[in-house]
Every structure is written in C-alpha cells, then in structure tokens.
Amino acid sequence: MNKLKTLAPLLIIIIFALGIRLLGVGSRPIWYDEAFSLLFAEKGPAEILSGTLLPKGDTAAAEEHPPLYYFALWGWLKIFGNSVVSGRTFSILVSLVIIVLIYLIANDLFDPPTAQIAAGLSASLPFQVHQAQEIRMYALLTLWLLLATFAYLRARSGNWKWWLVFSVSCAFAQYTHNLAAVYLIPLALTPIFQKDGKTLRALIGAGLVALLLYLPWMLHLPAQFSKVSASYWVTKPGVEKIFTLLLMYLPHLPLPGTLLLFGLLFAVLTVTLAAFQTYLARKNRVPSTNRALWTAYLAFTPPLLLWVISQFVPVYVERALLPAHAMFCIWLGWSLTRTKLPRLIQITAAGFVAVSAVMGIYQHVSYNGFPYGPYAALDQSLENRIASGDLIIHSSKLSYLPAFYHDPSLPQGFILDPSGSGTDTLAPATREMLGLREFNSIEHAADGATQLWFVIFQSSIDEYEAAGRLHPHLEYLDQNFSLEFMESWGGINLYRYTKHTP
C-alpha cells in the first residue's frame, strides 16, 4: 500500500506528460529531418545499411548517424504504419520511459519527493517535450544513456548484472548516435573524481565489454567522421552558446523577440539561484550535496565537452544534449526544493520555471515558420492543378523531402546543394536508395520545361535580399520564363512560370 502511494504521483506525472506530448502530434507539420527518418526507416534494415555505410570508391560514409534508431523505427512502422502520428508516437512512448528513468535515478540519489519534482520537470520542460515528438533518434539516445546512468548507480554495489546492463546500454547509445560519447566520457570519469578505485576497475571492465559490443560499428566511425568533416551544416560555436544552452534547458528555442528576452531572464535567474543554493548547501555540508553536484556535473559537462570538440570539428547539436538536460531536471529539482530555500523565493523560482515551460510549449505547438510548412496541403493543391508535362521544382531538399513524403507520385524534384558545401549532407547513395529526383542546377531543372511550378522558402529569399541580391534561382527563372502568379503557403512561396514564347 505504501509503495502504491509512493508511485501514484509518478503515474499522475506520466499521464500529464502524455497529455502535453500529444498536443499537436498530428497537426504539426513535419520537416526535413522527420521526413528523412520516415522515408529512410521504411526501406528496411538491408537498405538502411546500404544507405549509411561507405559507398564504393568514397572516403566518407553516406549517412552520419548509426542505424539503431532507424532499425527500431522500421520495426515500429511495420506494425503501426508509416504515418507522421505513428512515427511521433514511438518517440513519445520512449520519452515516457525517460521520465520513469529520471524518477528512478533521482530516487536512488535522493528521495521520492525529489524524484517526483525531477520527473515533473522532465514531463513539462519544452526541450523534453519537443524531442519527445520529433521523429528522430534523440529520445532513444537519452533512454539508453539514462539507463546506463541508473545501471552505474546500482552496479557500484558490486552486482555484475547491473554492470552488464551498463555495458549494453552504452553500446546501444553509441549505435543510436555518435555523440553519445560526450555524455559517456564524463560518466566514465566519475569514479576517478570520487577516488573510488573499486568502482573504477569494474567500470573499466564494463567499458571494455561495451567497446566489444560496439566494435562492428566502430570500424565505420572514420568514414562517418569524414562525412561530418566534409559536409555538415553545423558551424563552429562561440561563447553565445552559454546563453542558448540556458534557453534550451528552460524555455527552449525558437522564441519571438519579446518572449526571448523574458525567457533568457527567467533562465538566467533560475539557474543562478539553483547554483547559489548548491553553493550554500556545499558550504553548510548538506549530506546530499555531493550527489547533487554529480547531477549538475552530468548536466553541464557534456555541453562543455561538445563545445570544445566543436572548435575543431563543428558538431554542436543542441538536440544531442537531451540526456544532459535530463540530469539538469534532477539537479534543478533538488536545488530548488531540498536546500532550505525560503518559501517566497521557492515559489518565485517555481513561477519562473512554470512561465518558461508555458512559453516554450506554446511556441512549440504554434510555431510554423522555417523549416516547417503545410506540405500535405501544398501537395494536394498541386495535384489538383498541374497539367500533363508540368514539373515541380524545389529550390532545396528542405522543402522537397517533406513534400515527397506526403506524395511521392507528384512530378517534383529538387536542386542539389553545392557539392562539398556545409549543406551538402544528403549523399548520392542515400538519394538513390530513397528514389529522389534531383537536378544539378536550376538550368538543368528547367531545361525543356514549358510550364513549371517553383517552391522556395521565403527565408531563403530574405537571405539574398539582405545581401542586396535576388535569389539566383528566381533570377534565372525571371529571365527565361514568364511569371504567371505567386502564392504564399506560410513561410513557403509557390511560383508558376511559363516558358517565354518567341
């Protein structure tokens, strides 16, 4: 009865989390990454591998991510169908397991009330909510890394079964995303900092088992790193990532101008207050402080490590910090509720967190700017209006892939990114496997067409206009075709052109 009474709040939190995660799950449009996941995963394990591994004669892999998530998503889609809702539901269910793991870790480190607060924060903070809906691998990555963290806590007693769970979880995390290492390295360094030789020896053994399990894929890492080095959209991060990290951890991004200012203020005040309370607890020798410091260490060391690595090879992807954010939820819950914070300040801090969460979730559900768009409706409109011989050209793969997912039968293709550029991330082997239609240039795409439809993001046009130029694709079309009309579909522009007649 007492156990049921203890677990009842967790059940309520999970139901609450499920409700938030279902907001807009079917109405929010997909974007490029999600469309890629669905199209890639539906092909099955054999083609996933062929679309990922090193193509013959190349030095770089076709796809920069390991295959475990795509395998798992393929199995899920085979059972529940290849729909947007199905793909997002998989991530949502994984995120609910994450909440349970956060509860278990916090309960092991502290007590049930702290565990409930930490679980409640992970249920409601927008970073967790957003990634819980994304058809990407970051929720699954977080599950494996938190399972490894929980197994580590349990294994310190000498139970070899938990060390085995630790090894398998670490290997699975690396099979899910190569950036799992930025969390695993700080975790593995823990017994060194704690001067715990016995745990260190056991961890080294478990780590060797994990490396052995990961060895088949480790052989492909050089090719995947070559892929990232040669063409990856991420730029070298600067010191501004300190502020964007705080924004990601609390209200999340993007936020419009006014909300951005308030979001940053609330985030800085909340984290500063939590850090100060942790300092006071350390000074006053509160018994649980060292464990809280460990959660803070796992919350902020992975971003720092990722930032340092990105000074050499830019790979600073905030989504990969979702596991660290889970530990942030535990530390924040402890620092604001278990450190004898005055009641008024505690309520104020809770208000900052709550307002941040509401702002972020509202923005997440309502945001429909770049790279989102009404692709399904656009496809339907085009299907009803195109004539025989018409061609639909997308200026970028970012709009083409979601449109292709919704209706692969439409006569549409996209213009390839400049070869070797940071945006040239979709490898030839992967494009061939997906059956995409591509053009080397706008001239190639428009060659021989008498009437065509052109799709481009307004943000792409704005970038060129800011530099005092017309977008080169539009410039060519205006010179060689007659514009009949233009329509705006959210942040996407649709043009219809007809070939000049003599």
Judging by beta carbons within 10 Å of its beta carbon (0-12, 13-18, 19+), is residue 331 exposed, middle or buried? buried
Question: Residue 63: which pLDDT band, with cuts at 50, 70 and 90?
Answer: low
* Residues 369-422: tens digit of each pLDDT: 888 999 999 999 999 999 988 999 999 999 999 999 999 999 999 999 887 666
Residue 304: is it exposed, middle or buried by C-beta count within 10 angstroms (0-12/13-18/19+)? middle
Report pLDDT for 121: 98
Round to whole Å and give the CA distance between 319 and 137: 9
Instruction: Enumerate the domain spans of the chain.
Output: 2-366, 375-499
Percent of the chain with pLDDT over 70: 94
For the cut 50, the answer to whether the pLDDT of residue 114 exceeds it is: yes
Beta pairing class for 412-415 and 391-394 = parallel
Grouping H, G, I as helix, E, B as strand and the rest as coil, residue 285 is coil
Q: What is the pLDDT of residue 61?
A: 47
Peptide bond into 254 cis (omega under 30): yes
Domain 375-499 has CATH 3.30.2320: no
Tell me the pLDDT of the chain averaged across its residues.
91
Report the distance separating Cα 111 and Cα 95, nearest Å.
22
Amino acid identity at 119: A
203 compared with 232, residue with greater pLDDT: 203
For residue range 126-180, list pLDDT tens digits in order: 999 999 999 999 999 999 999 999 999 999 988 899 999 999 999 999 999 999 9
The pair phi, psi for residue 392, each rounded to 5°, is -105, 120
Burial class of residue 219, CB neighbours in 10 A (0-12, 13-18, 19+): exposed
The average pLDDT across 56-62 equals 48
Q: Specify the pLDDT at position 490.
A: 87
Work out the average pLDDT over 340-346.
91
Nearest to 88 by CA among 39, 37, 151, 54: 37
Q: Is the dihedral of CA 16, 18, 21, 25 positive or negative?
A: negative
Is residue 58 scored above 60 in pLDDT?
Answer: no
| Per-residue pLDDT reduced to its tens digit, 256-297 | 888 899 999 999 999 999 999 999 999 999 999 999 999 999
Separation CA 442–CA 474 (nearest Å) = 9
> 3-state class of 496 per DSSP?
strand
Interior angle at CA 313, CA 311 and CA 315, nearest 5: 95
For 167, half-sphere exposure in the C-beta direction (CA atoms, 13 angstrom radius) is 19
For 441-498, write each residue's pLDDT tens digit: 999 999 988 899 999 999 999 999 999 999 999 999 999 999 999 999 989 999 999 9
Q: At what angle do helices 181-193 and 138-155 cross, to 10 degrees?
A: 20
pLDDT of 230 reads 55
How far is CA 76 from each of CA 28, 86, 309, rounded to the nearest angstrom?
A: 21, 8, 34
Across residues 286-314, what is the average pLDDT? 95
- The answer to whether residues 421 and 402 touch, using CB atoms and an 8 Å cutoff, is no
For residue 231, the model assigns a pLDDT of 53
Mean pLDDT of 184-213: 95
Cβ atoms 73, 67 nearer than 8 A: no
